[in-house]
Amino acid sequence: MEMEYVPLGRSGLKISRACLGAMNFGAPAGTPGCDEDEARSIIGAYLDAGGTIIDTADGYSGGQSEEIVGRAVKGRRDAVVLATKAFLPSGPGPNDRGLSRAHLTRALEASLRRLGTDYIDLYQCHQWDPATPVEETMATLDGFVRSGKVRYLGCSNFTAAQVVEAQWAAQRAGGTPFISLQSQYSLLARAIEAEILPACQRHGLGTLAWSPLGGGVLAGRYRPGQAPGDDTRIGRLKASPMPAARSWAEGMLTDRNLRIAAEAAAIADDIGASPASIALAWAASQPGITAVITGPRTLGQLHDNLEGFSLALPPDALARLSDISRPLGAEPVTGMGAHR
């Protein structure tokens, strides 16, 4: 396949349309995650295919994901846009989470150590922090850029209003704005089209779509009337200690979502592709979507997913998918889902 590269938001940074998500790397013992050998094979194959951006977070697998990614890209660091995130708890103390100057400063240093690098290409706020003034957060992040430890800034799971607040805060201080937003987006979750995507386009943010396969629903991994297996993403998240993760997982296996997945599977049969590649091709083709994050657990899943980025869906297939997945009514436009 020939990888496509596009600017990320209102910046000169170019990234591949396919973004490799590292949430599954270094899963805790006893879980069906991805061990380091498999993760390194996935990362190597992704880079060999022309992919350039790898997204992780300090909270993924207790920091193991960052460590694995750092070791895997060590010999190819300059070719990689390394993205990570901060917000999630790193300890029991009151300042061990959030977007305060106190927490972010420690979180950045810890991520740099785990990643084995002296700079991070894209440093992102994992979610909005209502307990910290946005001016404090943006001033702290600007200091990271001025120090050379961070090159670009982004956010994740922000609402349209929060995106605008952050950009205004950076502008008032003469600091560094965000160039990207990560948000849940797929055939099953299109709420960001109403407000969030227009706000990002207006304020210079590219959009990275997470969970484009709806936790595996659009890959055909679930059937009506069958409980998700413990080795599936939805099965794991339903047992998560995080309420937001459990809530997200429990809301994925609806009759409507399974009907959409069945339509994607039917189109896949018609054109000789996999359901996963159909869903990824649809997401990548939508206006305002800069890149799509795929989080494979196996090398086979990576190759299957990458096919979606070179697949041009016929107009009638695009129309069928867009029609069946169209939101039925007003949906809460929160930008939030399970922490990822």
Q: Write out the chain's pLDDT in tens, 340 residues.
A: 789 999 999 999 999 999 999 999 997 544 567 999 999 999 999 999 999 999 999 999 999 999 999 999 999 999 999 999 999 999 999 999 999 999 999 999 999 999 999 999 999 999 999 999 999 999 999 999 999 999 999 999 999 999 999 999 999 999 999 999 999 999 999 999 999 999 999 999 999 999 999 989 999 888 776 677 666 777 777 677 778 778 877 788 889 999 999 999 999 999 999 999 999 999 999 999 999 999 999 999 999 999 999 999 999 999 999 999 998 765 545 555 544 4
Answer whether residue 2 is part of any domain: no
Specify whether the CB–CB gap between 294 and 307 falls below 8 A: no
pLDDT at 340: 44
Report if residue 193 sits inside a domain.
yes
Give the pLDDT of residue 186.
Answer: 98
Would you state the pLDDT for residue 262?
95
Domain that holds residue 30: 7-324
**Whether the Cβ atoms of residue 25 and residue 60 lie closer than 8 Å to each other:** yes
**pLDDT for the residue 86:** 98
Number of domains in the chain: 1
Rounded to two decimals, the pTM is 0.92
Of 46, 60, 123, 152, catalytic: 60
Judge whether 332 lies within some domain: no
| Residue 185 annotated among the catalytic residues of the structure | no
* In a domain? residue 339: no
The 3-state secondary structure of 274-286 reads CHHHHHHHHHHCC
**What's the CATH code of the domain at 180?**
3.20.20.100
Looking at residue 283, its pLDDT comes to: 98
In a 3-state reduction of DSSP, which class is residue 340? Answer: coil
Identify the burial level of 44 via C-beta atoms within 10 angstroms of its C-beta, where 0-12 means exposed, 13-18 middle and 19 or more buried.
Answer: middle
> What token pair was written down for 41?
């094979």
Number of helices followed by number of strands (H, E) in the chain: 12, 10
In a domain, 334, yes or no: no
